[in-house]
Amino acid sequence: MTSRNLIRTAAPSRRTVVKAAAVTAVAAPALVSTAASPAAATTSTAAFLHGVASGDPLPDGILLWTRVTPSPDATPGSGKGADTEVRWEVAEDRGFTRIAARGAVTASAATDHTVKVDVRGLRPATPYWFRFAAGADGGTGTSVLSPVGRTRTTPGYDDATPGVRFGVVSCANWEAGYFAAYRHLAARTDLDAVLHLGDYIYEYGSGAYPKTDRVLRPHEPRHETVTLSDYRLRHATYKTDPDLQALHAAHAVIAIWDDHEFADDTWSDGADNHTPGTEGDWASRMAAAKRAYFEWMPVRTSAEGTVYRRLRYGKLADLHLLDLRSFRSRQAGTGSGKVDDPERTITGRAQLDWLKAGLASSDATWRLVGTSVMISPVAFGSLPAHLLKPVAELLGLPTGGIAINVDQWDGYTDDRRELLTHLQERAVRNTVFLTGDIHMAWANDVPVTAATYPKSPSAATEFVVTSVTSDNLDDILRVPANTASTVAAAAIKAANSHVHWLDMDHHGYGVLDVTAERSQMDYFVLSDRRKPGASATWARSYRTLNGTQKVERVYSPV
């Protein structure tokens, strides 16, 4: 079996389950000796300044992550700092009295002193606690301990599963606000994992997005991220946020990237926010961004440099995760008929074939698809002049009003047509697209032919979550929420009968609850993105029932 197949598989076969994470796991010493308490284990110069994380859960395993700072000069992206042994433990209890696995790895400057451990041999559908230690060995009581994280494995591949619940987030701009959405998700004890649908970081120079000379909290580096060192430092800056650290410590995070992990409106050979003459070779920049991403994120590293992969939650749900930046053609120009060109692609041929095959062959009740950009078509209705430009900016539309969303699936209509036709012809039911990117919340049917909908069928449904902090309509216009959106939303809904709801004003997150009967998205909004202690309030809920391919409103959250 090739490494590509290993990365894409939903879970290892029950006949080939790996029984241990490493040969050293059995012999590795405990992180804290019986003679020393965790409070006493603080004499090493090493430190865990960026928290702990877990991701990509399997029935028998989980990926663990941390970053050790071995000395004060070993700052992220510096290339400085000695090789450092980091020990890890996974336990069945918070007190670490029932150890399930332990081992040791070496962190070095070659990977920016980040640590990733792919632990196997665990039990399905089970919560685990994990931690790391650095410094002297555990028998002396002088190690420095990391914070403790909690995670959860997925159900067995063929197990019946009554339900699964995900937090869903996207678009967190450090300079635009605080990450209260992450804090509220971290406080929930009912989540199996959190899906991050892209724009985990932003690449701009300080004050460039949104354009301002009054930055709420400046990120590092202050200039635009271009080099490997730049991307490492930007990731590290994000992971100093206490709410982001709390999220990673509380739940496994399943992440994909969008464009801002690289540069605005990325395609395979460039980006709108990249100037080759002054910012170097695009291939080198993209390689640097991907390397930093795989170092700093709890995502299994792919030999092919991609994040598309598949996870499974028993017989209830398959989760197909897409990479819509690495293989896409350049976005079409304003008014260009190239959006329909079958030679242009948003997925790439291999990924689209992989997705189609996975959806058709799935025996799960639900087929969830994590996509960084919206698949539902958007026609541009009649809008007043003062709303035309900001709404076009959010949707990626030409300000002249042409009905093409060129950075999303609207700009690559042949790929979308092929995928939706495949779902219809193969009678693939219960496909739900989960989307971020556009800083608004939507609940949509996904029509096979938008122009004749609802007389023509819907092939799937789509739930789009708003941004954690990135600007939406009221932020761009600098007006109170709902001042302009009532007119704009009404115009968009009038031109798009498959759109059941959209919220153009708020920041927040979603919680997706999946059972055999339905998939339901509860939308939560923040009181104020600029306040660290912002409250969260339930706003709306929409669901799709088993077998219907249509969205309906629900009047209470799960």
Task: Reply yes or no on whether the pLDDT at 117 is more than 90.
Answer: yes
pLDDT tens readout for residues 174-199: 999 999 999 999 999 999 999 999 99
Task: Reply yes or no on whether the pLDDT at 243 is more than 70.
Answer: yes
The torsion of the CA quartet 124, 125, 129, 135, rounded to 10 degrees, works out to: 30
Interacting residues of 284 by C-beta distance below 8 A, sequence separation 6+: none
Residue 340 CB coordination number (10 Å): 14
Interacting residues of 549 by C-beta distance below 8 A, sequence separation 6+: 429, 430, 431, 445, 446, 457, 458, 459, 460, 461
pLDDT tens readout for residues 382-397: 666 566 667 667 766 5
The tokens describing 209, both together, are 């997005």
CA atoms of 540 and 505, how far apart (whole Å)? 14
Please name each of the domains of the chain with its CATH number. 3-152 (2.60.40.380), 166-554 (3.60.21.70)
Task: Reply yes or no on whether the pLDDT at 336 is more than 50.
Answer: yes
- 3-state secondary structure (DSSP) of residue 294: helix
- The answer to whether the beta carbons of residues 507 and 467 sit under 8 Å apart is yes
Average model confidence (pLDDT) across the chain: 89
Higher pLDDT, 488 or 14: 488
pLDDT in the model for residue 15: 27
The structure tokens 């819907």 sit at: 458
Q: Backbone dihedral region of 207: left (phi > 0), alpha (psi from -120 to 50 degrees) or beta?
A: left
CA atoms of 183 and 495, how far apart (whole Å)? 37
CA dist list (Å): 539 to 316, 318, 534: 27, 27, 15
Nearest to 185 by CA among 258, 130, 248: 248
The structure tokens 């629900």 sit at: 554
The structure tokens 């209509």 sit at: 413
Residue 340 pLDDT grade (very low, low, confident, very high; cuts 50, 70, 90): confident
Helices (H), 133-220: 180-186
Size of the chain, expressed as the number of residues it contains: 558
Range 57-83 average pLDDT: 98
Higher pLDDT, 310 or 212: 310
Higher pLDDT, 302 or 236: 236
pLDDT in the model for residue 67: 98
Q: Which residue type sits at 362?
A: S
The tokens describing 429, both together, are 């039911």
The tokens describing 50, both together, are 């960026």
Task: Give the distance from CA 237 to its chain's centroid.
Answer: 18
CA atoms of 154 and 443, how far apart (whole Å)? 27
Interacting residues of 501 by C-beta distance below 8 A, sequence separation 6+: 441, 442, 443, 540, 542, 553
Range 27-50 average pLDDT: 60
Strand partners for 7: none
CA atoms of 468 and 174, how far apart (whole Å)? 10
Q: Which residues of 288-323 are buried (b: 16+ CB within 10 A; e: fewer)?
A: bbbbbbbbbbbbbbbeeebbbbbbbbbbbbbbbbbb
pLDDT in the model for residue 400: 40
Residue 151 pLDDT grade (very low, low, confident, very high; cuts 50, 70, 90): very high
Strands 99-107 and 52-55: unpaired
Range 526-549 average pLDDT: 97
Residue 26, judged by CB atoms within 10 A of its CB (0-12, 13-18, 19+), counts as: exposed
CA atoms of 47 and 200, how far apart (whole Å)? 24
What is the per-residue DSSP string for 384-397? -HHHHHHHHHHHT-
Element housing 413 (H / E) = helix 413-425
| Highest-scoring range by mean pLDDT, 10-19, 85-94, 472-481 | 85-94
3-state secondary structure 439-506: CCEEEEEEECCHHHCCCCCEEEEEEECCCCCCCCHHHHHCCCCCCCHHHHHHHHHHHCCCEEEEECCC
Q: Which residue type sits at 135?
A: G
CA dist list (Å): 469 to 23, 200, 230, 398, 475: 44, 11, 22, 24, 10
Task: Reply yes or no on whether the pLDDT at 36 is more than 60.
Answer: no
Task: Reply yes or no on whether the pLDDT at 25 is more than 50.
Answer: no
CA atoms of 328 and 204, how far apart (whole Å)? 22
Range 232-250 average pLDDT: 98
Residue 43 pLDDT grade (very low, low, confident, very high; cuts 50, 70, 90): very low
CA atoms of 364 and 519, how far apart (whole Å)? 13
> How many CA atoms, within 13 angstroms, populate the side-chain half-sphere of residue 525?
16
Task: Give the distance from CA 147 to its chain's centroid.
Answer: 23
Q: Which residue type sits at 300?
A: R
Helices (H), 251-348: 276-279, 282-296
Nearest to 181 by CA among 531, 527, 509, 538: 509
The structure tokens 């209705």 sit at: 381
CA atoms of 230 and 223, how far apart (whole Å)? 9
CA atoms of 60 and 316, how far apart (whole Å)? 17
Range of weakest confidence among 137-151, 268-282, 446-460: 137-151
The tokens describing 22, both together, are 């490493």
CA geometry: angle 296, 169, 58, nearest 5 deg? 60
Interacting residues of 277 by C-beta distance below 8 A, sequence separation 6+: none
- The answer to whether the beta carbons of residues 332 and 404 sit under 8 Å apart is yes
What percent of the chain lies above the pLDDT cut of 70? 87
pLDDT in the model for residue 459: 98
Task: Reply yes or no on whether the pLDDT at 144 is more than 60.
Answer: yes
Residue 28 pLDDT grade (very low, low, confident, very high; cuts 50, 70, 90): low
What is the phi/psi pair of residue 489, to 5°?
-65, -40
Task: Reply yes or no on whether the pLDDT at 143 is more than 50.
Answer: yes
